[in-house]
Structure 1
Amino acid sequence: MSFKRVLAIVLLGVSAFANAFTPTPEQIEQFKKLPKAQQEALAKQYGVDLSSIIPTVGAENTATPISSIEERINPLLPIEVEEPLKPIKEELKPFGYELFAGEPTSFIPNEQIAVPNDYVIAGGDKIAISLYGKETAIHEIYVDREGRLSIPNFSPIHVAGLTYKELKELIDHKVTTESIGLKVFVSIAELRSLRVLVVGEAHKPGSYALSPLSNVTHALFASGGLSEIASLRNITVKRKGKVVSKLDLYDLLLRGDSTGDVTLQSGDVVFIPSVGPQVTVSGLVKRPAIFELKEGETADSLITMFGGFKETAFLQQVEIKRVVNNAKQSVISVDFSNDDVSYIPQGGDALKVKSVNSEVVDSVTLIGAVARPGFYEWESGLTFDKLVKNVKSDLLPQADLGYAIIVRETPNVSQIEVLQFSIFDALNGKPISLQKNDKVYVFSRFNELEKEEKALKNLALTIEEQELQEKVKLWHLYERKQFNEKVLFEADSKKAKTVFGRDTLLAPIIAKLEFQSTVGNTKAVFEIDGQVRFPGTYPLATNTTVQSAIIAAGGLLESAFVEYAEVTRLLEGGVVRHIKAKDINLSSQNDQLALQSRDILNVLMQPNWQDSYKVTLQGEVKFPGTYTIKRGETLDQVLIRAGGITQFAEPKAAIFTREAIKKQEQKQLRKLSEELRKDIASKSFNKSIGTNTSLTYEETDKLLKDLASVTALGRLVIDLPSIITSQEALRLQDGDVLYVPGKQDSISIIGEVNYSSSHLFKEGVSIEEYITLSGGMKDRADEEKVYVIKANGAVFIPNQTSWFAMNNRIELEAGDTIVVPMDASHTDNLTLWSTATQIFYQLGVGVAAIARI
């Protein structure tokens, strides 16, 4: 049975732990006979911790009591657990010892291999002689102790000391001369064994019987390998008291040189001395390990040992720790970049090769909306137009040709300065010189991702162009490490920012400029507000004027006042100064006011400027549609432009909605939803004794979902008949919508009635009669709080005194809705049901009305 098979059986038996399978004592004994190095190697191959099975298979010290498997796996016993956040430090191992951690038969010569012609015959070898010709016979004959070979029917011959080739020639000559018509074939049937003594730092020193074809390495494997303090550089072979060979295993491992690995003879002594001086090599080398030194070895010898340096190794200053006079430790730095290295390795030295700086130097970097972002070689006389030669092929379609910047290192390399330029000018006769380590930023014409993608979609990009867009974005996200929501998204507006927009690309630059500002070195940024495309904070470039600042902000909006802009300047001592910059039209060639650090430029809006306001008229209007209005225009004026209402209109039931009111209502709904959520959670954990006042999960979930699904309408209750007759005036705002329904002839009843329905309106029918027509109230209805929602949205409560006063003059009308709310006291659940129910009913009526539009 093979050693692997034995180990597999033992390991499976030990790891079962439940007596499902147990290795036999013979198998365990066979495993115990393996050297420790072989046990560890095979256990590692099978992924098993050998320390967990050594007590089972037997320890060398049998006097030590062995705990049972059950005790060693008892979960109640304290177990040392590694800290998950503790950094893992890989321990360096001495070089070359892993060669002897394989299977013990790896290097032992096989008896079936061909015997070389130079093999020396000696006593104990078995020779196979096959005779053929006039007679046939096969003889296997041992060479006796006297070195003689006795072939039947032939006289004995002395063969000891002959080579295998000479033996075959001798026997062939003897047979052919002494017997006519007979031929012979000679081979070696069995080799003798030789005994070699392995001493010194072997794993198990002793006398070993080996094949006569064995070399020194075979003897090392037969003895179980080397101990932890064995030398690999000076293994000697002694024969009759004289050294016949010295083996340096480094020659074998590093150069494949087996000169010292001689063939052993019986009686040879293989001596393994203790390890000599050692050097530790770590870091960016190809073979980090602990190496043994021999006398006279140089830095080149050491480099050969560790295989050379990795490509990213920093060779100018390799750190070497050295123990001086066995008293203290010092550090020296050695330059390995030259061919002639003066360093002489010494025992105890510890070399640590560090990495070169990841920062790319002596280059120019293109960043932003360019087709091929990244690093480019810098050379004297390099200009921007040599890197970006064509707008279509070298820039992305969304690139802003009017604004680009260069971030340049100042003589004080810890600080930067910014230069602004126009890509259009740089490609048309106004070259921009680039210096070493410049970073060129090309921006998108958009800040918001949605607008950029919409613009690119309209351009109908090809598949290749779309893939290029994604590749460039991924490069920036990876290189600039900005793949996070804080950079790409605004928390409040939740609008995605484009990767190449001003907000994204300028953020780290502005942060750097703010950080480098100190006393005497002001913060080189400015702000621009008002009627520009991208208001915000910008780096103050060299010679920044009002005009170049406006270009940086994307240019003027249509609403901008171009005769002058206001500059607010913060002076020393907290003095604030306001300056008017004359004629800020970008086409002007007049001298521009130069901006200073922390200036705030405000581009004003044109007097009486307004954006185009639009209102919508729907329903029973003679000419419904969307109308553009001027500031301050009223609803009755727009109705006149629309031809007024038709003869079928019901102006009392008109529905008017406004965007500003809608946003306010939506905010209030979100606030109410949060308050309901908190109230439900609070009351669910505080149950009254004997009374269940908490909502079930289904009720809670339904209530919160219903409230979350409600959309604000933004309805403004108006009296359209009074507006039409000019008794009231309603000034319109952008986005206002008026719906004039047709004449109505029904009244609706909703809420806690047996059958919610609508009924044909009849003059003089009371609320109670309409409720009776709907099957009457349910048991949980609150009859004291019945109310009416008029067709125009007004709410009246019949049971209140104020309503009775109005009720004397106002009766139910077509289009009204009667609401019967729930009695909160009827149930033991949260009283919030009553409030929420009323809210839902009111909003439901509004939704039903708007749905008819």
Structure 2
Amino acid sequence: MNRSSIQSHLSSYRNSSFLLFRQRFALSFLLVAIAITTGFCQQPSRADQLNDEQIIEFYQRAQGSGLTEMQIEQAAMSQGYTLTDIAKMRQRMAKIKQQSNRTGQLSTDTLSSRSQQGTLSQRPLSSYDSLNLLRRDTVRRPNIFGASLFKGTSLTFEPNLRIATPRNYVVGPDDELMVEIYGNSTESFRLRVSPEGSVRMLNLAPIFVSGITIEQAEQRIVGRLRQAYQGLNRPNSGTYASVTLGNIRSIRVTMVGEVVMPGTYTLSSLSTAFNALYLAGGPNPETGSFRDIQVIRNNRIIRTIDLYDYLLRADKKDDIRLLDQDVIRVNDYGVRVEIVGQVKRPAIYEVKTGETLKNVLSFAGGFTDRAYTFSLTLRRNTPRELRISTIAQEQLATFVPQSGDKYTIGEILNRYENRVQVTGAVMRPGDYALGDEITSVRSLINRAEGLRKDAFLNRATLYRERDNTDLEAIPFDVGRLMRNETEDIPLLRQDSVHIYSVRDLREPYYVSIEGAVNRPDTIPYVTNLTVTDLIALSGGFQEGATPTRIEVARRIREDTTKMTGSETVQIFQFSIDRELHLLPADARFLLKPFDVVYVRTSPRYELQQNVSVYGEVQHPGNYAIESRGERISDILKRVGGLKTGAFLPGARFSRRGTVIATDLGAILDNPRMSGNLLLEVGDSLYIPKLPETVSIQGAVLNPSTVSFTSGFHFRDYVTQAGGYTDNARQKRSYVVYANGLKDRTKRFLFFRHYPKIEPGSKVIVPFGPLTDDRRLSPGERIGLISVIGTMTVTLTTVIINLVRLF
């Protein structure tokens, strides 16, 4: 034995010794606690001396120390407790738990619960899954049927721990069995299967339960309990027992072969083969078989799984429960074929020996509604190249696929083998079957229930498809054909007959009405329509209509080449009363297609048109224009005069939002002057109060509004605004009066005449261009004066010299 082996044995011995010491110490501590609590040396019945809190504390300490119920009972019996004392304590504990469960205060009862012991293997995101996620966005790969079953995250095949105890469950080490005794005696035991495969109760001999089913284990346990409970589970005994599965163990299963993630996995003892396959990522889609998966137990194949049974028929017969040390081997696939085209599930399918192409098509869900089922196209690999074959429909049941085959199912053509059509002016246009009843054009029209009344009988067209798929038009006289005056025309496949309507060969007929009617419109023409009918259809006359002047304009439809006049339309006039009665002479006048009816408006009929007068007048408001010749002076008479304090020179007249300057005082003095305008709809006249201010704006030092002062002139108001600025254009100054009129500054020779200022006036002084940039600096001025002086002296010298010469 080498040094490492010796150290390993010494380490194991120290660990086991330490564990044994810890258990003995905990057991001694509990026994001392029991002795101190109960004082069993002086009491004849020790269980009766414990209260409920002491019993609960005792069990909680025992469970916290890691001791099993069997070890706790053995320790109690070694200290002098009898089976009766232990049974009484169990009964009281059960009673306490039952009462606590009713009130919801105690949660220490775990006899009826089931949990998983140990940590189970979890499925990680494999490299294959990551690669598939990338391939979805970059490369379009053929879909392998069944591979998607193990790629999803919502399907796990996890075992349900809350199911009833499976009767065929095989018990193994670390499983917990819950034994419930009820009836005349009440007991409950929670037994954990030892590594040797046995359980113990009370002071009875161990019971070997490993490797047998839960049902067989129940029989052994009940048989052993009959040593303590006579007649247990026998008729009329009054005492019964049941054994169920409590906390379950974990098992280890090895996945080998063509799986995505081979290895050994820790699973629940309730797990099945599908659960293990999911954890391992399922068969490798590239190389693994979905139909040849072997479950090996004790070096013997106990089941071969075909996943197609589950995928296609939801058959889980192969989803067997696994045992510890089972091996699942996924073999290489054998024969794979690909089906594309018009099937319900195009994919790559695996084929077993004895299956035909018909079976493979059933795997794909069969043909779609648009599939071409007369034959299939096969692309097969040969030792050197590819080969194409055609498989007829009757060969499907016997054709044996080979690995690498690719079957393509085409789509039916968008054409009919026996269709003929009739469209247009027949009672039932549509598609019909060419056959015994329909063989010619006449039989097709009769089958469509004949011609409509608007059918154009002189001509119809038969459209026929030629050999090169071009259409050929064959005209015929449908009226003579239906009267048997000409020979019938035989029909061929894809023929189409079109019967024209008389409406198809003319412009759509309509009539129109315009003018003083409530709903001017254009409506379809109908026969025997009169003028009064059309007026009624348009809602009748408007209030201002003139019924005595109705005009109808009619197109000239005859040949006009020989006409000598210049008329382009015919005009008809009518006189109708408001009750829509035609005069007797015109009662038989009927409208024709394209006639236009005009209803005139009364020459003196107009809607009320208002003008507004507001301000300092006696009766402000809106006034209707009484006549076309009404003027400003006329409306002033209708308002009842002016109020005291009205400022007539400041009156403003506005038209369409624009102020029109007027002198209202002059208009009242002389109504014939040109400023007395004719009134229009929307005009407004405003008479203000006497204003008491004057506004000075523009190129003044302090633009402002000052009070009107009698006797002040234009320049006085400019002075009140601080005077002119440097760039003021004084000679361009002007005044805007309150009524919109304007007056500007005038100049004669060296004299300026400034406009008169009235209350409410605006004094405007325009700005001139800035002259700061034009002014010369002092240095420039000195230089300019020097130049001028020099030129003056030079010019003087020249003049003196000239005088001397002459």
TM-score by length of 1: 0.45
- The structure with more radius of gyration: 2
TM-score by length of 2: 0.47
